[in-house]
């Protein structure tokens, strides 16, 4: 389908997945992958069968964040078996190439790699497949929006104007291709000093909520700027898994309940 047409339901990918949810952002570095992996693990903690596809071919973060390395196996000689971390099925280009090898690919290669990571992977029956998209509104995002029957997209932004501007572009892109916006997450929403408890709004505050209101889409929640969130996700055991009772983990669990 061309832009403006709905994704064809039941695209020929042979997936047994009830809902595919894309996690997107306008800009890089706003915490999209951190949100995607914590959201996937929050959904799994709620008893769902969850997969996480890292669709960021050029800069895959999910292997690091899931604490997984090595190569996926092909038990039947055809389809790749996803890696398993903390109860979630995971696939990423990062499992197929060395960590420091750059993917020097043009758009069509990226598109076919994405289709293979969906169709040639034995995802098994899933309730939810979370797709961590690369930042922006390019080839990979369009492929996912048009070739895959997405249930919707979660938009992650930090609160400052420069990030929100690009978040609005991401919202408009999904609207153009008729993918519902499940809501907006404000990441790095504020910082509380661990010593004195003083709250600082480093990147301003509330912009993502205002953006959600303006576009009449749900606001899914605020995640603080917090060194523990970085340490746990970059260290391979996201906070939802490593500190499930913490306020930060609860914030992700609430987002999981709202999507
Ligand atoms: P993106 O996917 O948008 O490029 P990442 O999720 O890779 O961003 O996050 C970029 C960096 O910021 C990572 O080191 C990550 O651990 C860190 N980070 C993300 N969200 C937070 C947060 N709420 N608090 C602290 N660090 C964060």
> With a cut of 0.90, is the ipTM above it?
yes
Give residue 7's pLDDT. 40
Give residue 3's pLDDT. 40
61 lines ligand 1 (CB under 6 A): yes
Q: Alpha-carbon distance 259 to 129, whole Å?
A: 13
Does residue 8 register a pLDDT over 90?
no
For ligand 1, the distance from its centroid to the CA atom of residue 31, given in whole angstroms, is 4
- The top-level CATH class assigned to 18-258 is alpha beta
Where along the chain do its domains lie?
A: 18-258
pTM of this prediction exceeds 0.80: yes
The stretch 103-126 carries a mean pLDDT of: 92
Report CA Rg, the chain. 17
Residues placed in the known binding site: 26-33
Residue with the bigger pLDDT between 143 and 229: it is 229
Give residue 12's pLDDT. 52
Give residue 13's pLDDT. 74
Q: What is the pLDDT of residues 90-104, one digit of tens each?
A: 999 999 998 888 889
Q: What is the pLDDT of residues 204-245, one digit of tens each?
A: 999 999 999 999 999 999 999 999 999 999 999 999 999 999
Does residue 158 register a pLDDT over 50?
yes
Q: What is the pLDDT of residues 51-98, one digit of tens each?
A: 999 999 999 999 999 999 999 999 999 999 999 999 999 999 999 998
For ligand 1, the distance from its centroid to the CA atom of residue 72, given in whole angstroms, is 26
For ligand 1, the distance from its centroid to the CA atom of residue 33, given in whole angstroms, is 7
Q: Please state the atom number of ligand 1 nearest to the C-alpha of residue 227.
A: 25
Does residue 9 register a pLDDT over 70?
no
Does residue 10 register a pLDDT over 80?
no
């Amino acid at each position: 389908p061309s832009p403006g047409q709905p994704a064809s339901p039941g695209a020929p990918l042979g997936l047994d997945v009830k809902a595919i949810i894309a996690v997107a952002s306008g800009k890089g570095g706003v915490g999209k992958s951190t949100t995607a992996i914590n959201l996937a693990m929050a959904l799994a903690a709620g008893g769902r069968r969850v997969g996480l596809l890292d669709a960021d071919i050029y800069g895959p973060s999910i292997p690091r964040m899931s604490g997984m390395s090595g190569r996926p196996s092909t038990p039947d000689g055809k389809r790749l078996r996803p890696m398993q971390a903390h109860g979630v099925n995971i696939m990423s280009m990062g499992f197929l190439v060395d960590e420091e090898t750059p993917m020097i690919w043009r758009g069509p290669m990226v598109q076919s790699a994405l289709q293979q990571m969906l169709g040639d992977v034995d995802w098994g029956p899933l309730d939810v497949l979370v797709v961590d998209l690369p930042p922006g509104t390019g080839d990979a995002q369009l492929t996912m929006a048009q070739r895959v029957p997405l249930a919707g997209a979660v938009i992650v932004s930090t609160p400052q104007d420069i990030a929100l501007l690009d978040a609005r572009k991401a919202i408009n892109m999904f609207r153009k291709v008729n993918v519902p916006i499940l809501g907006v997450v404000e990441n790095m929403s504020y910082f509380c000093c661990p010593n004195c408890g003083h709250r600082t709004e480093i990147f301003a505050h509330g912009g993502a909520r205002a953006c959600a209101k303006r576009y009449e889409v749900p606001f899914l929640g605020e995640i603080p700027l917090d060194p523990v969130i970085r340490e746990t996700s970059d260290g391979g055991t996201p906070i939802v898994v490593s500190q499930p009772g913490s306020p930060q983990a609860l914030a992700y669990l609430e987002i999981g309940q709202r999507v």
